[in-house]
Amino acid sequence: MHDMQTLDKRQFRAAEPGEPAVRAAVLEITRAAFLINPETGLRIEGDTPDELPMVQTLFDRGAVDSLHTATVDSAAAGCVLYTEGTLTGNPGARPPGLTIMGVAPDRQRRGIGTGLLKWSVARLHASGGSMAGCLLALCAFSFADTLTVVSVGDVMFAGKGTRWLDSLGVHYPMAHVRDELSRADLRICNLEMPIADAGVAFDKTFTFRAPVRHAGVLLDAGFDVAHLGNNHVMDNGVAAFESTLRVLDSLGIAHVAAGMTLAEARRPAILERKGVKIGVLGYSLTYPEEFWADSARPGTVFGDSTWLRDDITALRNQVDYLFVIFHWGAEKMTTPKDYQKALGRLSIDLGADAVFGHHPHVLQGIELYKGKIIAYSLGNFSFASWTNAVWDSAILRLYFLDRALLKAEVVPLNINNFQVEFQTRILKGPAARRSLSALARQCRSLRTTLRIQGDRGWIVP
């Protein structure tokens, strides 16, 4: 981790905005801000010339003074509006005399929002340990690849959920989490069932199938990618599985980890957000084997390390961001198995930007590995069953800048249907801190620090 004292001693020569040294410096400064206030860090507000983008620094409620504004014409960036201010406050919380300059989008990009602005550092100079002469100059260059990703665990609204949805409608399950899900550029879930109006149930203890009329739950949540590589998507045979693919396609929801052949199941989803390409791969390490696809049989793709290596290698240079999803582990087990850790870390080593897991129905620890997130199990998210074996879950939100992780946010959830009645709810107050404290202990076992601030948890590289 970086702290402000470390940053006091760093020096960066003057550089062009696109140089690696500049990009490295901006990440350090931004991460340092999140270490002090991970929820907000450095915030810039205002989208139009009428709302000059004041630089708001929330370093321990620090004030911004000596503000003034100006307009600069730049051939590279168009009309650039900026504010400049000097920060003062407790030297123990941040360096005094820090000067920050904010840059607004050009006129063509004004509507994107200043929250997407990127920061670059032209020069960072320590002066007598007080940082009185420190200047962080923000240069205008492309900020389109700033990305926020939300990932959640198992979604299953079949079975006992059918009667509730018929009575209360498809907007019922996500009513209390819809806004949280909307705060992302990309939303990913594990769809733990086929969606079809008919099917022949496989001979096993639990089989699920949701009617097509309830597929709107996925749209209401705003999911962009559905992971299908699990132990239930083939519960009702090939015809029901084909129906699922048709439904997802009709809704515009990408899907991974299952297909009509093995080749199709291994095919990545490639999406574009804000001018950057995002690739998603998915795998199942669950049984029965009859659900695994082969060259002539529909089904899921098994998480073979050779296939994983080949797939990530083939995809890495095609996309800006690459995410890998696994359905793995043991049900109700709160610690990841050794093979989960091995495959998760291998994925990062091969070039994945994050790894998301599920299947245990409960939360497992989140690991920060080489500056990237491995969420071993995100548990259930919206699961239509009555049980006291599972209580808590989480929404995981990742913030990226220039392909580097800025921070990870954990939103704790209550998923016990005896309390929430198939309507996932965000935990607050003591209940949130209890849930986050338990997860923090699991993270510590993976040598990762989950900081609790208010009702949220934060991991900062």
What would the pLDDT profile of 164-192 be if each residue is shown by its tens digit? Answer: 999 999 999 999 999 999 999 999 999 99
Give the model's confidence band at 390: pLDDT under 50 very low, under 70 low, under 90 confident, else very high: confident
State how far the Cα of 396 lies from the Cα of 392, in Å rounded to an integer: 13
**Residue whose token pair is 């920061």:** 119
Residues 381-401, mean pLDDT to the nearest whole number: 92
Q: Specify the DSSP class assigned to residue 212.
A: G
Single-letter amino acid, residue 134: C
Single-letter amino acid, residue 167: S
- Tell me whether residue 18 is in a domain: yes
**pLDDT of 22 higher than 90:** no
The interaxial angle of helices 305-316 and 338-350, nearest 10 deg, is: 20
State how far the Cα of 434 lies from the Cα of 429, in Å rounded to an integer: 9
- Tell me whether residue 46 is in a domain: yes
State how far the Cα of 336 lies from the Cα of 98, in Å rounded to an integer: 43
Give the model's confidence band at 24: pLDDT under 50 very low, under 70 low, under 90 confident, else very high: low
Give the model's confidence band at 201: pLDDT under 50 very low, under 70 low, under 90 confident, else very high: very high
Reported as a single tens digit per residue, the pLDDT across 249-285 is: 999 999 999 999 999 999 999 999 988 999 999 999 9
- Is the same domain home to 388 and 441? yes
| pLDDT value, residue 11 | 29
- Is the same domain home to 300 and 333? yes
How many other C-beta atoms can be found within 10 angstroms of the C-beta atom of residue 340?
26
**Least reliable range by pLDDT among 37-41, 111-115, 197-201, 339-343:** 111-115
Residues 419-440, mean pLDDT to the nearest whole number: 97
**pLDDT of 97 higher than 80:** no
**pLDDT of 216 higher than 60:** yes
**Least reliable range by pLDDT among 236-250, 389-403, 420-434:** 389-403
**Least reliable range by pLDDT among 15-29, 46-60, 169-183, 210-224:** 46-60
Is there a contact between 323 and 268 (Cβ–Cβ < 8 Å)?
no
- Is the same domain home to 108 and 249? no
State how far the Cα of 424 lies from the Cα of 380, in Å rounded to an integer: 10
- % of the chain exceeding 70 in pLDDT: 68
Which long-range CB contacts under 8 A does 368-374 form with residues at least 24 apart? 368/408, 368/446, 368/447, 368/448, 368/449, 368/459, 368/461, 369/344, 369/345, 371/404, 371/405, 371/461, 372/348, 372/405, 373/398, 373/405, 373/408, 373/459, 374/341, 374/344, 374/345, 374/347, 374/348
Domain of residue 78: give its range: 4-136
- Is the same domain home to 114 and 160? no
- Tell me the C-alpha to C-alpha distance, in Å, between residue 89 and each of 37, 93, 99, 252, 329: 15, 8, 13, 50, 48
Domain boundary among 103, 136, 169: 136
Is there a contact between 459 and 448 (Cβ–Cβ < 8 Å)?
yes
- Average per-residue pLDDT for the chain: 76
Residues 429-458, mean pLDDT to the nearest whole number: 96
- Is the same domain home to 328 and 273? yes
Q: Specify the DSSP class assigned to residue 140.
A: -
State how far the Cα of 346 lies from the Cα of 340, in Å rounded to an integer: 10
| pLDDT value, residue 461 | 87
Short-list 37, 2, 1, CA closest to 124: 2
- Tell me whether residue 113 is in a domain: yes
Domain boundary among 116, 136, 156: 136
3-state secondary structure of 179: helix
Q: Who has greater pLDDT, 26 or 111?
A: 26
| pLDDT value, residue 230 | 97
Judge residue 370's burial from the number of C-beta atoms within 10 Å of its C-beta, 0-12 exposed, 13-18 middle, 19 or more buried: exposed
Examine residue 288 and say whether the peptide bond preceding it is cis (omega within 30 degrees of 0): yes
Query: What total number of domains does the chain contain?
Result: 2
Cα-to-chain-centroid distance, residue 67: 35
Domain boundary among 109, 136, 163: 136
Reported as a single tens digit per residue, the pLDDT across 118-145 is: 332 222 222 222 222 222 323 222 333 4
Give the model's confidence band at 28: pLDDT under 50 very low, under 70 low, under 90 confident, else very high: low
- Is the same domain home to 74 and 196? no
- Tell me whether residue 174 is in a domain: yes
Q: Who has greater pLDDT, 150 or 30?
A: 150
How many other C-beta atoms can be found within 10 angstroms of the C-beta atom of residue 451?
17
- Tell me whether residue 412 is in a domain: yes
Give the model's confidence band at 146: pLDDT under 50 very low, under 70 low, under 90 confident, else very high: low
Q: Who has greater pLDDT, 9 or 185?
A: 185
- Tell me whether residue 142 is in a domain: no
- Is the same domain home to 36 and 112? yes
Residues 374-380, mean pLDDT to the nearest whole number: 97
Token couple for 180: 């949280």
Q: Distance from first CA to last CA of the chain, Å, rounded? A: 6
- Tell me whether residue 233 is in a domain: yes
| pLDDT value, residue 256 | 98
- Is the same domain home to 276 and 295? yes
**What are the percentages of helix, strand and coil residues in the chain, rounded to 5?**
25, 30, 45
Q: Specify the DSSP class assigned to residue 138.
A: P
| pLDDT value, residue 389 | 84
- Is the same domain home to 321 and 191? yes
Which long-range CB contacts under 8 A does 199-202 form with residues at least 24 apart? 199/235, 199/236, 199/237, 199/239, 199/240, 199/243, 200/236, 200/237, 200/239, 200/240, 201/235, 201/236, 201/237, 202/234, 202/235, 202/236, 202/237, 202/288, 202/290
State how far the Cα of 104 lies from the Cα of 158, in Å rounded to an integer: 47
- Tell me whether residue 141 is in a domain: no
- Is the same domain home to 116 and 21? yes
| pLDDT value, residue 406 | 83
Judge residue 58's burial from the number of C-beta atoms within 10 Å of its C-beta, 0-12 exposed, 13-18 middle, 19 or more buried: middle
- Determine the Cα angle at 183 with ends 179 and 189, to 5°: 85
CATH number at residue 433: 3.60.21.10
Residues whose CB falls within 8 Å of the CB of residue 272, separated by 6 or more in sequence, listed in order: 278
**pLDDT of 352 higher than 60:** yes
| pLDDT value, residue 30 | 52
- Is the same domain home to 225 and 299? yes
Give the model's confidence band at 4: pLDDT under 50 very low, under 70 low, under 90 confident, else very high: very low
Reported as a single tens digit per residue, the pLDDT across 280-310 is: 999 999 999 999 999 999 999 999 999 999 9
Residues whose CB falls within 8 Å of the CB of residue 5, separated by 6 or more in sequence, listed in order: none
- Is the same domain home to 122 and 213? no
